[in-house]
Structure 1
Amino acid sequence: MDSPTINLKERTGFSARLKSALDGKNLSARPSDVARAFNARADGCAVTSHAARKWLVGESIPTQERILVISKWLNVNASWLRFGEAENATLLAARGLENVLVTKGEYDLVQGVLALSKRSQAVLQDLVFSLLKLESDSNTQMSAGASRGGNKRRKAQLTDLEAR
């Protein structure tokens, strides 16, 4: 990930967490050592010591694929390593999802939902399930219509759905 697309706080936070994880394992934080150890575990996504240096000084954040390699190597939660949310990392680990990596937008969405009242969460859950059912029903109807040659009816259904 390039530095212009990620703010300084995120990059320096990642750098601090990476150094902390390395220190916790009594591993060297020298770029050449980090790159060598990373490359020994990476299958097809090797890095240079220059890239490792950029991670360590907060100039860039590795791609999701590389974060997963680092998190497995250092035995830390991938989401914690990327975003620094220890509480949520613990919750994910308890559900067997410790190496699930989500985008910042997905993470923010979940945080927003969790900030809602229980009543609002229930309403949102009902809405999501209703939308999923609507899409599932729509896909089923379109498949059935296509198998019977119902192109006109399928177009009418799509128009009707878009109007809603």
Structure 2
Amino acid sequence: MRTQLDVKGLSQYDNSINSNYQASACGPVTTLSILRYWMPNACPYDTNQLYRLLGSTSIGLFTWRLKRNLRKILGPTWEVNTCSIDEAKFELLEGRPVACKFDRYFTFRWFGTYEFAYHWVPLIGFEENKNGLTLILHDNGGRNRESRIRYVSYEKNQDILTFVKIVPHAND
């Protein structure tokens, strides 16, 4: 089974982002990519605003802070919650991207080999087959490099992954 959403990525080193924020802007960039998916051409925020509003720091953006502050920003018409890998896969199958955090530091997994040490990325798809689960994500770019789609083993990184769904509630 394979699914991949058409989510436009953004480099956290884009010229539009304050140079003091760039090294730790992966959380706000991930959030902005997901909000732009939901609000194409109408998202009222940019990365610099989200960096401040979400409470990002030079060492990154804590999951609890992303959830708390994004709920305040978006209001009660949005759901912002941590979810399991099965819930994340369901969200993707329903056409909804998920924020994904790699964090070996605060999960106390200092010595493993992982795709990223500490990094937020938009999870835009997955592929599941007999060889395991592959996550499809935007990597949020690098210096002088746009964000690109990457394929990452879930099994090799599962000990350090956190997923956060950011979903508008359906209009009743």
TM-score interval, smaller chain: under 0.3
1 or 2 for the larger relative contact order (CA 8 Å, sep ≥6)? 2
Which one has a bigger Cα radius of gyration?
Answer: 1
- Normalising to structure 2: TM-score of the pair? 0.24
- Normalising to structure 1: TM-score of the pair? 0.25
Name the structure with the higher helix share: 1
